[in-house]
Structure 1
Amino acid sequence: MIVYRYDTQTKEFIQELEINEAYGSNLPLTTTVKPLAKKEGFAVCFNGTKWEYIEDFRNTVVYLKEDKQESKVDYLGKIKDEHTLLIPNQFDKWNEVSKSWVEDDTLKKEYEKSLIPKTITLRQARLYLLSIGLLDNLENIISQNRAYQIEWEYANSIERESPLVKILGQTLNLNDTAIDNMFMEASKI
Protein backbone atom coordinates (compact mmCIF):
# COMPACT_ATOMS: atom_id res chain seq x y z
CA MET A 1 0.00 0.00 0.00
CA ILE A 2 1.28 3.51 -0.83
CA VAL A 3 0.74 6.43 1.56
CA TYR A 4 1.80 10.04 1.27
CA ARG A 5 3.46 11.74 4.20
CA TYR A 6 3.12 15.47 4.92
CA ASP A 7 4.73 17.99 7.30
CA THR A 8 3.28 18.48 10.79
CA GLN A 9 3.02 22.28 10.57
CA THR A 10 2.85 23.24 6.89
CA LYS A 11 0.99 20.08 5.75
CA GLU A 12 3.40 20.11 2.80
CA PHE A 13 3.99 16.85 0.92
CA ILE A 14 7.23 15.22 2.11
CA GLN A 15 7.43 11.76 0.61
CA GLU A 16 5.71 8.71 -0.75
CA LEU A 17 5.97 5.57 1.40
CA GLU A 18 5.20 1.97 0.63
CA ILE A 19 3.90 0.19 3.72
CA ASN A 20 2.69 -3.29 4.49
CA GLU A 21 -1.11 -3.39 4.26
CA ALA A 22 -1.15 -5.36 7.51
CA TYR A 23 -0.24 -2.12 9.34
CA GLY A 24 -3.15 -0.28 7.76
CA SER A 25 -3.10 3.30 6.58
CA ASN A 26 -3.44 4.91 10.00
CA LEU A 27 0.11 6.22 10.20
CA PRO A 28 0.13 9.78 11.54
CA LEU A 29 0.60 12.59 9.01
CA THR A 30 -0.12 10.35 6.04
CA THR A 31 -2.94 9.93 3.55
CA THR A 32 -3.77 7.53 0.77
CA VAL A 33 -4.90 10.44 -1.42
CA LYS A 34 -2.31 10.92 -4.16
CA PRO A 35 -0.76 14.43 -4.12
CA LEU A 36 -0.90 16.89 -7.00
CA ALA A 37 2.09 17.15 -9.34
CA LYS A 38 4.80 19.64 -8.37
CA LYS A 39 4.22 23.15 -9.69
CA GLU A 40 6.77 25.98 -9.86
CA GLY A 41 6.19 28.62 -7.17
CA PHE A 42 3.79 26.47 -5.16
CA ALA A 43 3.94 23.90 -2.38
CA VAL A 44 1.65 20.88 -2.48
CA CYS A 45 -0.19 20.74 0.88
CA PHE A 46 -2.84 18.46 2.37
CA ASN A 47 -5.88 20.26 3.80
CA GLY A 48 -7.28 17.21 5.62
CA THR A 49 -9.32 15.88 2.72
CA LYS A 50 -7.40 16.76 -0.45
CA TRP A 51 -4.12 18.20 -1.75
CA GLU A 52 -3.96 21.82 -2.87
CA TYR A 53 -1.45 24.30 -4.26
CA ILE A 54 -0.29 26.96 -1.79
CA GLU A 55 1.88 29.84 -2.99
CA ASP A 56 5.48 29.34 -1.89
CA PHE A 57 7.65 32.44 -1.55
CA ARG A 58 9.94 30.97 1.12
CA ASN A 59 13.48 32.40 1.02
CA THR A 60 12.28 35.20 -1.26
CA VAL A 61 13.41 38.69 -0.24
CA VAL A 62 10.56 41.04 0.67
CA TYR A 63 10.52 44.63 1.90
CA LEU A 64 8.46 46.08 4.72
CA LYS A 65 6.34 48.88 3.23
CA GLU A 66 6.62 50.97 6.38
CA ASP A 67 10.42 51.26 6.57
CA LYS A 68 11.91 49.29 3.62
CA GLN A 69 13.39 46.70 6.01
CA GLU A 70 14.52 43.65 4.06
CA SER A 71 13.67 40.12 5.20
CA LYS A 72 13.12 36.65 3.78
CA VAL A 73 9.78 34.89 3.67
CA ASP A 74 9.65 31.91 6.04
CA TYR A 75 6.02 30.84 5.60
CA LEU A 76 3.73 29.36 2.95
CA GLY A 77 0.98 31.39 1.33
CA LYS A 78 0.59 34.86 -0.08
CA ILE A 79 3.02 37.56 0.91
CA LYS A 80 1.69 39.48 3.91
CA ASP A 81 0.04 42.82 3.12
CA GLU A 82 2.71 44.79 4.99
CA HIS A 83 5.41 43.45 2.63
CA THR A 84 6.17 43.80 -1.07
CA LEU A 85 8.45 42.08 -3.57
CA LEU A 86 9.23 45.46 -5.19
CA ILE A 87 12.73 46.71 -4.40
CA PRO A 88 12.81 50.23 -2.96
CA ASN A 89 15.38 52.88 -3.82
CA GLN A 90 17.16 54.94 -1.17
CA PHE A 91 14.63 57.78 -1.05
CA ASP A 92 11.46 55.80 -1.74
CA LYS A 93 8.33 55.71 0.34
CA TRP A 94 5.48 53.22 -0.17
CA ASN A 95 2.41 54.61 -1.91
CA GLU A 96 -0.67 52.53 -1.08
CA VAL A 97 -2.73 54.05 -3.90
CA SER A 98 -0.31 53.11 -6.69
CA LYS A 99 0.92 50.00 -4.83
CA SER A 100 4.50 51.01 -5.60
CA TRP A 101 7.52 52.81 -4.22
CA VAL A 102 7.65 56.52 -5.08
CA GLU A 103 10.55 58.89 -4.52
CA ASP A 104 10.08 61.07 -1.46
CA ASP A 105 11.49 64.51 -2.31
CA THR A 106 11.63 65.47 1.37
CA LEU A 107 13.81 62.46 2.24
CA LYS A 108 16.06 63.16 -0.73
CA LYS A 109 16.48 66.84 0.16
CA GLU A 110 17.18 66.01 3.82
CA TYR A 111 19.87 63.55 2.73
CA GLU A 112 21.43 66.02 0.29
CA LYS A 113 21.38 68.70 2.99
CA SER A 114 23.16 66.32 5.38
CA LEU A 115 26.05 66.06 2.90
CA ILE A 116 26.76 69.80 3.05
CA PRO A 117 29.60 70.52 5.48
CA LYS A 118 28.48 72.57 8.47
CA THR A 119 31.89 74.22 8.75
CA ILE A 120 34.80 75.04 6.44
CA THR A 121 38.12 76.65 7.22
CA LEU A 122 38.64 80.27 6.26
CA ARG A 123 41.52 79.11 4.08
CA GLN A 124 39.10 76.89 2.13
CA ALA A 125 36.55 79.71 1.87
CA ARG A 126 39.14 82.22 0.63
CA LEU A 127 40.62 79.84 -1.95
CA TYR A 128 37.17 78.92 -3.26
CA LEU A 129 36.04 82.56 -3.47
CA LEU A 130 39.30 83.40 -5.25
CA SER A 131 38.68 80.59 -7.77
CA ILE A 132 35.23 81.98 -8.67
CA GLY A 133 36.38 85.62 -8.71
CA LEU A 134 34.49 86.85 -5.63
CA LEU A 135 37.27 87.20 -3.07
CA ASP A 136 38.08 90.85 -3.88
CA ASN A 137 34.38 91.85 -3.76
CA LEU A 138 33.98 90.09 -0.43
CA GLU A 139 37.06 91.71 1.09
CA ASN A 140 35.76 95.14 0.01
CA ILE A 141 32.46 94.45 1.77
CA ILE A 142 34.21 93.12 4.88
CA SER A 143 36.50 96.15 5.09
CA GLN A 144 33.42 98.35 5.60
CA ASN A 145 32.32 96.56 8.78
CA ARG A 146 34.75 96.26 11.68
CA ALA A 147 32.98 93.24 13.26
CA TYR A 148 33.06 91.33 9.95
CA GLN A 149 36.69 92.32 9.50
CA ILE A 150 37.68 90.92 12.90
CA GLU A 151 35.78 87.67 12.31
CA TRP A 152 37.20 87.28 8.78
CA GLU A 153 40.78 87.89 9.90
CA TYR A 154 40.92 85.96 13.18
CA ALA A 155 38.47 83.07 12.95
CA ASN A 156 39.80 79.63 12.02
CA SER A 157 36.59 78.43 10.45
CA ILE A 158 33.26 79.65 9.23
CA GLU A 159 29.91 77.97 9.92
CA ARG A 160 27.28 77.54 7.23
CA GLU A 161 24.52 78.96 9.42
CA SER A 162 26.47 81.93 10.79
CA PRO A 163 24.95 85.42 10.37
CA LEU A 164 28.13 86.51 8.55
CA VAL A 165 27.58 83.89 5.83
CA LYS A 166 23.95 84.94 5.40
CA ILE A 167 24.78 88.66 5.14
CA LEU A 168 27.75 88.09 2.83
CA GLY A 169 25.63 85.76 0.69
CA GLN A 170 22.98 88.47 0.32
CA THR A 171 25.59 91.13 -0.44
CA LEU A 172 27.26 88.95 -3.09
CA ASN A 173 23.88 87.84 -4.50
CA LEU A 174 24.45 84.20 -3.51
CA ASN A 175 21.27 82.24 -2.80
CA ASP A 176 21.15 79.29 -0.38
CA THR A 177 21.94 76.82 -3.15
CA ALA A 178 25.03 78.80 -4.19
CA ILE A 179 26.19 79.03 -0.55
CA ASP A 180 25.63 75.29 -0.08
CA ASN A 181 27.62 74.68 -3.24
CA MET A 182 30.40 76.94 -1.94
CA PHE A 183 30.62 74.89 1.27
CA MET A 184 30.62 71.62 -0.70
CA GLU A 185 33.31 72.75 -3.14
CA ALA A 186 35.43 74.61 -0.57
CA SER A 187 35.49 71.54 1.68
CA LYS A 188 37.31 69.67 -1.12
CA ILE A 189 40.17 72.19 -1.18
Structure 2
Amino acid sequence: MKNYPLAIPVCQLDENNFFTGITCADLDPLEGGGHYLIPRLCIQTDEPEQKKGFIPQWNNGQWEYIEDHRGETVYFKNTGIKQIIVALGKLPDDVTTFAPAPFTEWSEEAAAWVDVVNADKLRLQDKKEKAGTITRSQLLTAIELQFGKNKKELLNIAERELVGDHLIKVRNVISEAQSFTLMNDDMWDFLTQTLNISNEQIFVLWDEAKKNY
Protein backbone atom coordinates (compact mmCIF):
# COMPACT_ATOMS: atom_id res chain seq x y z
CA MET A 1 0.00 0.00 0.00
CA LYS A 2 1.41 3.38 -1.01
CA ASN A 3 2.18 5.82 1.79
CA TYR A 4 1.28 9.46 1.14
CA PRO A 5 2.76 12.43 3.00
CA LEU A 6 0.46 13.94 5.58
CA ALA A 7 0.69 17.32 3.89
CA ILE A 8 1.90 18.75 0.60
CA PRO A 9 2.84 22.32 -0.41
CA VAL A 10 0.32 24.24 -2.51
CA CYS A 11 0.31 27.75 -3.96
CA GLN A 12 -1.89 30.30 -2.21
CA LEU A 13 -3.60 32.88 -4.41
CA ASP A 14 -5.55 36.04 -3.64
CA GLU A 15 -8.97 36.94 -4.98
CA ASN A 16 -7.39 38.03 -8.28
CA ASN A 17 -5.29 34.88 -8.69
CA PHE A 18 -2.03 36.60 -7.72
CA PHE A 19 0.47 34.35 -5.93
CA THR A 20 0.84 35.22 -2.25
CA GLY A 21 2.93 32.32 -0.93
CA ILE A 22 3.14 28.63 -0.14
CA THR A 23 0.84 26.88 2.30
CA CYS A 24 0.01 23.25 3.07
CA ALA A 25 -2.80 20.96 2.01
CA ASP A 26 -3.52 18.10 4.45
CA LEU A 27 -4.11 14.51 3.42
CA ASP A 28 -7.83 13.77 3.51
CA PRO A 29 -8.26 11.16 6.27
CA LEU A 30 -11.64 10.07 4.93
CA GLU A 31 -10.73 9.47 1.32
CA GLY A 32 -7.92 7.30 0.00
CA GLY A 33 -5.79 7.49 -3.09
CA GLY A 34 -3.73 10.44 -2.01
CA HIS A 35 -6.57 12.91 -2.00
CA TYR A 36 -5.70 16.20 -0.29
CA LEU A 37 -7.85 18.90 1.22
CA ILE A 38 -6.85 21.89 -0.92
CA PRO A 39 -7.53 25.15 0.95
CA ARG A 40 -9.65 27.86 -0.63
CA LEU A 41 -7.85 29.93 -3.29
CA CYS A 42 -5.01 27.39 -3.49
CA ILE A 43 -3.78 25.39 -6.43
CA GLN A 44 -1.59 22.33 -6.61
CA THR A 45 1.21 23.32 -8.95
CA ASP A 46 4.89 24.24 -8.90
CA GLU A 47 5.83 27.41 -7.08
CA PRO A 48 6.32 30.26 -9.60
CA GLU A 49 9.73 31.76 -10.31
CA GLN A 50 10.29 35.02 -8.49
CA LYS A 51 11.20 37.85 -10.84
CA LYS A 52 12.18 41.27 -9.52
CA GLY A 53 9.60 43.88 -10.44
CA PHE A 54 6.92 41.32 -11.30
CA ILE A 55 4.22 39.39 -9.48
CA PRO A 56 3.02 35.93 -10.65
CA GLN A 57 -0.64 35.50 -11.58
CA TRP A 58 -2.33 32.17 -12.32
CA ASN A 59 -4.11 32.47 -15.65
CA ASN A 60 -5.48 29.74 -17.91
CA GLY A 61 -3.51 27.00 -16.20
CA GLN A 62 -0.12 28.75 -16.16
CA TRP A 63 1.82 31.48 -14.44
CA GLU A 64 1.90 34.90 -16.03
CA TYR A 65 4.08 37.74 -14.78
CA ILE A 66 2.56 41.17 -14.19
CA GLU A 67 4.71 44.28 -13.66
CA ASP A 68 4.66 45.33 -10.02
CA HIS A 69 5.69 48.91 -9.29
CA ARG A 70 3.67 49.30 -6.10
CA GLY A 71 5.43 51.55 -3.60
CA GLU A 72 7.66 53.15 -6.24
CA THR A 73 7.80 56.93 -6.55
CA VAL A 74 7.13 58.35 -10.00
CA TYR A 75 6.91 61.89 -11.35
CA PHE A 76 4.43 63.30 -13.85
CA LYS A 77 6.29 64.47 -16.92
CA ASN A 78 4.12 67.54 -17.47
CA THR A 79 4.28 68.88 -13.90
CA GLY A 80 7.08 67.09 -12.03
CA ILE A 81 4.60 66.25 -9.25
CA LYS A 82 5.43 62.98 -7.52
CA GLN A 83 3.10 60.09 -6.82
CA ILE A 84 3.37 56.68 -5.18
CA ILE A 85 2.26 53.78 -7.36
CA VAL A 86 -0.48 51.69 -5.73
CA ALA A 87 -1.76 49.58 -8.65
CA LEU A 88 -0.24 46.64 -10.48
CA GLY A 89 0.69 46.85 -14.16
CA LYS A 90 2.94 48.86 -16.41
CA LEU A 91 3.79 52.43 -15.54
CA PRO A 92 1.67 55.02 -17.36
CA ASP A 93 3.35 56.75 -20.28
CA ASP A 94 2.98 60.16 -18.64
CA VAL A 95 5.23 59.39 -15.65
CA THR A 96 8.91 58.67 -15.07
CA THR A 97 10.90 57.23 -12.18
CA PHE A 98 13.55 59.97 -12.59
CA ALA A 99 13.15 62.85 -10.12
CA PRO A 100 13.23 66.31 -11.68
CA ALA A 101 15.76 68.91 -10.59
CA PRO A 102 14.54 72.47 -10.03
CA PHE A 103 13.97 74.49 -13.20
CA THR A 104 13.86 71.52 -15.57
CA GLU A 105 11.23 70.12 -17.91
CA TRP A 106 10.76 66.65 -19.35
CA SER A 107 12.13 65.94 -22.83
CA GLU A 108 10.77 62.85 -24.58
CA GLU A 109 13.58 63.10 -27.11
CA ALA A 110 16.27 62.96 -24.42
CA ALA A 111 14.15 60.73 -22.12
CA ALA A 112 15.33 62.96 -19.29
CA TRP A 113 14.69 66.22 -17.47
CA VAL A 114 16.44 69.11 -19.24
CA ASP A 115 16.94 72.74 -18.19
CA VAL A 116 14.25 75.22 -19.07
CA VAL A 117 15.37 78.10 -21.28
CA ASN A 118 16.14 80.54 -18.43
CA ALA A 119 17.26 77.90 -15.89
CA ASP A 120 20.52 79.65 -14.94
CA LYS A 121 18.73 82.92 -14.23
CA LEU A 122 16.06 81.14 -12.17
CA ARG A 123 18.66 79.19 -10.18
CA LEU A 124 20.56 82.38 -9.39
CA GLN A 125 17.35 84.10 -8.33
CA ASP A 126 16.45 81.16 -6.11
CA LYS A 127 19.91 81.13 -4.52
CA LYS A 128 19.69 84.89 -3.85
CA GLU A 129 16.27 84.48 -2.22
CA LYS A 130 17.51 81.66 0.01
CA ALA A 131 20.59 83.62 1.11
CA GLY A 132 18.51 85.57 3.61
CA THR A 133 19.33 88.90 5.23
CA ILE A 134 22.46 90.46 6.74
CA THR A 135 22.97 93.83 8.38
CA ARG A 136 24.73 96.74 6.73
CA SER A 137 27.51 96.38 9.29
CA GLN A 138 28.00 92.69 8.39
CA LEU A 139 28.09 93.55 4.69
CA LEU A 140 30.58 96.39 5.02
CA THR A 141 32.82 94.39 7.38
CA ALA A 142 32.89 91.40 5.00
CA ILE A 143 33.71 93.57 1.98
CA GLU A 144 36.51 95.41 3.81
CA LEU A 145 38.05 92.20 5.16
CA GLN A 146 37.86 90.25 1.93
CA PHE A 147 38.34 92.98 -0.68
CA GLY A 148 40.09 95.76 1.25
CA LYS A 149 37.48 98.44 0.57
CA ASN A 150 35.97 100.32 3.51
CA LYS A 151 32.75 102.31 3.63
CA LYS A 152 34.36 105.56 2.48
CA GLU A 153 36.03 103.87 -0.50
CA LEU A 154 32.77 102.19 -1.52
CA LEU A 155 30.96 105.53 -1.45
CA ASN A 156 33.73 107.13 -3.53
CA ILE A 157 33.49 104.32 -6.11
CA ALA A 158 29.69 104.67 -6.25
CA GLU A 159 29.93 108.46 -6.72
CA ARG A 160 32.50 108.01 -9.47
CA GLU A 161 30.91 105.13 -11.39
CA LEU A 162 27.14 105.44 -10.89
CA VAL A 163 24.50 107.99 -11.79
CA GLY A 164 20.84 108.76 -11.18
CA ASP A 165 18.55 106.48 -9.19
CA HIS A 166 21.12 103.67 -9.21
CA LEU A 167 23.64 105.88 -7.41
CA ILE A 168 21.11 107.10 -4.86
CA LYS A 169 19.92 103.60 -3.98
CA VAL A 170 23.43 102.16 -3.64
CA ARG A 171 24.61 105.14 -1.61
CA ASN A 172 21.64 104.79 0.73
CA VAL A 173 22.35 101.11 1.32
CA ILE A 174 26.00 101.78 2.09
CA SER A 175 25.21 104.76 4.33
CA GLU A 176 21.90 104.06 6.01
CA ALA A 177 20.28 100.66 5.37
CA GLN A 178 19.62 98.56 8.46
CA SER A 179 19.60 95.27 6.56
CA PHE A 180 20.37 94.01 3.11
CA THR A 181 19.32 91.11 0.87
CA LEU A 182 20.76 89.91 -2.39
CA MET A 183 17.38 90.57 -3.99
CA ASN A 184 18.36 94.25 -4.03
CA ASP A 185 19.18 94.55 -7.74
CA ASP A 186 20.98 97.90 -7.41
CA MET A 187 23.37 96.58 -4.80
CA TRP A 188 23.81 93.26 -6.64
CA ASP A 189 24.80 95.14 -9.80
CA PHE A 190 27.15 97.35 -7.79
CA LEU A 191 28.91 94.31 -6.34
CA THR A 192 29.08 92.31 -9.58
CA GLN A 193 29.48 94.96 -12.26
CA THR A 194 31.13 97.89 -10.51
CA LEU A 195 33.31 96.03 -7.99
CA ASN A 196 33.73 93.01 -10.34
CA ILE A 197 32.97 90.47 -7.61
CA SER A 198 31.86 87.14 -9.09
CA ASN A 199 28.54 85.56 -8.17
CA GLU A 200 30.24 82.75 -6.26
CA GLN A 201 32.49 85.19 -4.41
CA ILE A 202 29.40 87.11 -3.30
CA PHE A 203 27.77 84.00 -1.86
CA VAL A 204 31.00 83.10 -0.04
CA LEU A 205 31.21 86.65 1.30
CA TRP A 206 27.58 86.44 2.36
CA ASP A 207 28.07 83.22 4.30
CA GLU A 208 31.16 84.59 6.00
CA ALA A 209 29.32 87.77 6.98
CA LYS A 210 26.40 85.82 8.49
CA LYS A 211 28.68 83.49 10.46
CA ASN A 212 31.50 85.70 11.61
CA TYR A 213 30.56 89.37 11.64
TM-score normalised to the size of structure 2? 0.57
**SS of match in other structure, 1:187:** helix
Assess, with a 3 A threshold, how the Cα gap between structure 1 residues 150 and 89 changes in structure 2: closer, same or farther: closer
Among candidates 10, 15, 19, match of residue 13 of structure 1: 19
Amino acid at match of 2:199: T
CA-to-aligned-CA distance 1:17-60 (integer Å, 9 cap, x gap): 4675899x9x864567x46632322322123554312223344x
Deviation (angstroms), 1:78: 2.1
1:111 is aligned to 126
Unaligned ranges ≥5, structure 1: none
Once residues 67 and 189 of structure 2 are traced to their aligned partners in structure 1, the CA distance between those partners, rounded to angstroms, is 64
2:202 matches 1:157: no
Once residues 146 and 76 of structure 1 are traced to their aligned partners in structure 2, the CA distance between those partners, rounded to angstroms, is 64
CA-to-aligned-CA distance 1:77-118 (integer Å, 9 cap, x gap): 2233344334x364354332222234553553343232333x
Assess, with a 3 A threshold, how the Cα gap between structure 1 residues 110 and 8 changes in structure 2: closer, same or farther: farther
Unaligned ranges ≥5, structure 2: 1-7, 161-166
Assess, with a 3 A threshold, how the Cα gap between structure 1 residues 31 and 77 changes in structure 2: closer, same or farther: same
Q: Does the 8 Å contact 2:169/2:186 carry over to 1?
A: no
Once residues 45 and 146 of structure 1 are traced to their aligned partners in structure 2, the CA distance between those partners, rounded to angstroms, is 75
Amino acid at match of 1:165: M
Once residues 167 and 57 of structure 1 are traced to their aligned partners in structure 2, the CA distance between those partners, rounded to angstroms, is 50
**SS of match in other structure, 2:87:** coil
1:122 is aligned to 136
Q: Does the 8 Å contact 2:58/2:64 carry over to 1?
A: yes
